[in-house]
A and B are shown apart, each in its own frame.
Chain A
């Protein structure tokens, strides 16, 4: 299956091919008022997604008979092999939600869009890219995602394959705009924000044939200014999701990495463009360092990808890959081979595919044309010697050793999670949840209804009765009726119900006075008694030794 046939394509001068928008109605009504979402492909079921995304190389049995040099070319097809894993399917759903939700409040037909656009321009004019929040106050609906995992396990490959289901650029003839559905930028090596902005401008220019780099990417422009421009472009071109790959580069950054992390948070918090941060294990500490980021990253939408384990999924994956064999003699897969492959690759997909290629080359080159377990080990020893130390470290399970290779350093998520929870003060958490809950509940009750209920409760109507009476009155009258009339009617209704105690309850409560528990020599008792007897309280207190006799202080010398 190929998504390319489902679109009509036009070539942007100096840019890439763009798909012509076709508007479809999604099953969820909230998406159907926004042309930017309506132009996206439908939400795929898991089956459909797997069908679309799987990339199998062509492999005919007749090709096994070809001369060796041709088969070398055939084997190279394996580098484009893509077989979605279970977590790919999960990731796809997360990404799909991310993109659609991110667009939800960036609807070009709604006033918020133009308002935000104007506000970002104010930030551009004053060069306020770092503190966008001072300029922009329109609510957004985007959230971020962080993917962390050792290198070579296919984070980027999976993500790009998922994103390939979306046309990268969609042209909207009715709105005269190019929509960039996704954009991937690598985190610059020095970790500089300017570098990131420049890469962003370049990437957009490459797609749309614009000259943003020339206009805004001049070195002498301030970082602040460039950041604001990035925000404006992302907003104007309806950027669906921004992928920042190689986040681990930030570790080597000369400057504090928090500036970039902060900016990325602002991109989704303030501009509303979802950001996916991808990095190897090395990036973990810096994402942890900034708590706000960490919570956003792993707490809300975080995926930690680890090496595959030697289990059923591994077997399934190897089974799928094994089909593509170009040796003259087809060797069926055995359990020994599977575990040998696992031993040599330690569940790193990139390595296992490379190894499989090498094994085939070797078998063909040797002329034996037979793949054996020994051959696998031999190839690994020869071909993987560069990564051998790392693989050895993984194999040993020795964490200290693994730490040497930051890419593959193990992640201690438990420790991390506890740290997060500690940092969030419990009361704060409760407060946040309570607020969320009440605002949800209030959402169902209109302002008028709430007003009437509160007034009734003030008139000593029990809350339950107040609510039912208010609802009975407000519903037929509508929202815009005079509140005073509504309250009167509702109160009348409540009186007819007879549930109201004629005796005001509050009054009784007020009469009851607190009976304090007095201790022995309680100052309160002493003072009250003194008041009753009309004597100075200080005498009694002095007698009990609670206060010192001031005169005595003066005659200490005697």
Chain B
């Protein structure tokens, strides 16, 4: 049970709050502080995603108004990752709460590159010293992708404190000693500065927006939004193939090499992982790349997250009626399309990888189709006839027993006779219809 807990300053990283607790408690040994805060002496205090926080909440003084969610949301880097990793979101949150604290090292969070040293804004440093009597590490300044202070519009400096170290209790508090103010500040060109400001403010928006207001997005949602936007700009095809070469060039000319270098992004052809964010089964990803891509696609994060584009592998309707019996044969009259949704299928995302649609014409004829239209004749393609419809059934009922069996055999063969050429399939269908008509006439005759 703690007898006090320092009130976190605005945008203070929890790492720094723990260090302040250590100093005010008078503890000398860090493991004593860890024991008090987390009920465990063997915890590694991470600057980005601290864990065992549910113990901390239990240990707080009575009636303390801190909640687990508000601490994580306001004082860790969690929101930055959370938005882009819906699947693992709950897992990470669980780690931070502390069920399996050490597992946080594995998986997604491990692949995000933090800056090497704690960064600070000299103006913030002096302002904090003046208003609070002490300085602290700002969360936003340690976030990957942020190189300028959004308050003072100043390029951030590197402190002498490595971000990965085991000395949190000593270096967790920023001071004039560990934040030397160098005379040489990096000079970026005006356009780069503008972009740095833009990306920093985007990240700030992500970190501070109420994450409950951002509806949870699944990975396929991101994938679809990117593909839809890329298709619009002719950088991807309907079957989700991205023209990486062209994208690299446009990306480079949009941001400029100075900016990309400052952020440490390699756009050369050697970097095959550059556009990993388009992958459906995302394991390694970079939130900064997401934000850069969003801006590249001419969106702000807020409008991007409000997008509602759906995956339309078969394009817009109406589609062709493929019923030779129908008067609309080969006319675009079909408006009814039924697609299987992600949760109807066994394997994840197969609805994107292998979209299946069932098209139903008013004449009752239904055919199904797998995969997008790639070639010109693809629009005549069908995989299976689901129902022949009433026109066919009427004729069928007029047949004698032998012919019925013959027709059934022929129809069965057609349904499961996958032919590579859509035109052959169509012709077979026409022939079937013709033979049905012929048989009926023969019977009548």
Which residues does A use to contact B, with CB under 8 Å?
10, 12-15, 18, 20, 110-118, 121, 124-125, 171, 173-178, 204, 208-210, 215-216, 228-229, 232-233, 236-237
Question: Is B402 an interface residue, CB under 8 A from the partner?
Answer: no
Bound Cα distance A83, B25 (Å): 41
Q: Which of A14, A15, A110, A175 has the most CB of B within 10 A?
A: A175
New A-B pairs, 8, CB < 8 Å, besides A121-B23, A232-B26: A10-B62, A13-B1, A116-B133, A117-B23, A171-B62, A177-B5, A228-B26, A237-B3
18 residue pairs bridging A and B, Cβ less than 8 Å apart: A10-B63, A12-B62, A15-B1, A111-B133, A114-B134, A117-B23, A117-B134, A171-B61, A173-B64, A174-B65, A176-B2, A176-B4, A176-B5, A176-B7, A176-B65, A178-B61, A209-B3, A236-B26
Question: Is B28 an interface residue, CB under 8 A from the partner?
Answer: yes
Question: Is B217 an interface residue, CB under 8 A from the partner?
Answer: no
Which residues does B use to contact A, with CB under 8 Å?
1-7, 23-28, 32, 60-66, 129-134, 173
Can you name the residue of chain A whose Cβ is closest to the Cβ of B4? A177
Pair B1/A113 contact, Cβ less than 8 Å: no
Can you name the residue of chain B whose Cβ is closest to the Cβ of A127? B28
CB distance from A481 to the nearest CB of B (A): 24
Report chain B residues within 8 Å CB of A228. Answer: 26
Pair A125/B24 contact, Cβ less than 8 Å: no
Q: Which of A176, A178, A228 has the most CB of B within 10 A?
A: A176
From the candidates B3, B6, B133, name the one contacting A115 in the complex (CB within 8 A).
B133
CB distance from A484 to the nearest CB of B (A): 28
Knowing A176-B60, A178-B3, A210-B1 are in contact, say whether A115-B134 is a contact too (CB < 8 A): yes
Report chain B residues within 8 Å CB of A111. Answer: 129-134
Bound Cα distance A233, B23 (Å): 11
Pair B133/A110 contact, Cβ less than 8 Å: yes
From the candidates B26, B66, B131, name the one contacting A124 in the complex (CB within 8 A).
B26
Bound Cα distance A112, B7 (Å): 15
Knowing A176-B7, A176-B66 are in contact, say whether A121-B1 is a contact too (CB < 8 A): no
Pair B1/A236 contact, Cβ less than 8 Å: no
Pair B131/A237 contact, Cβ less than 8 Å: no
Bound Cα distance A299, B112 (Å): 65
Pair B64/A121 contact, Cβ less than 8 Å: no
CB distance from B160 to the nearest CB of A (A): 19
Pair B63/A173 contact, Cβ less than 8 Å: yes
Report chain B residues within 8 Å CB of A237. Answer: 3-4
Can you name the residue of chain B whose Cβ is closest to the Cβ of A13? B1
User: 3 closest A-B pairs (Cβ-Cβ)?
Assistant: A111-B133, A114-B133, A115-B133
Can you name the residue of chain A whose Cβ is closest to the Cβ of B131? A111
Pair B26/A176 contact, Cβ less than 8 Å: no
CB distance from B355 to the nearest CB of A (A): 54
Pair A178/B4 contact, Cβ less than 8 Å: yes
CB distance from B31 to the nearest CB of A (A): 12
Report chain B residues within 8 Å CB of A114. Answer: 132-134
Pair B4/A236 contact, Cβ less than 8 Å: yes
Report chain B residues within 8 Å CB of A178. Answer: 3-4, 61
Pair B132/A12 contact, Cβ less than 8 Å: no
Report chain B residues within 8 Å CB of A175. Answer: 7
Pair B173/A209 contact, Cβ less than 8 Å: no
Bound Cα distance A237, B130 (Å): 23
Can you name the residue of chain B whose Cβ is closest to the Cβ of A173? B63
Bound Cα distance A233, B5 (Å): 13
Knowing A10-B62, A171-B61 are in contact, say whether A210-B23 is a contact too (CB < 8 A): no
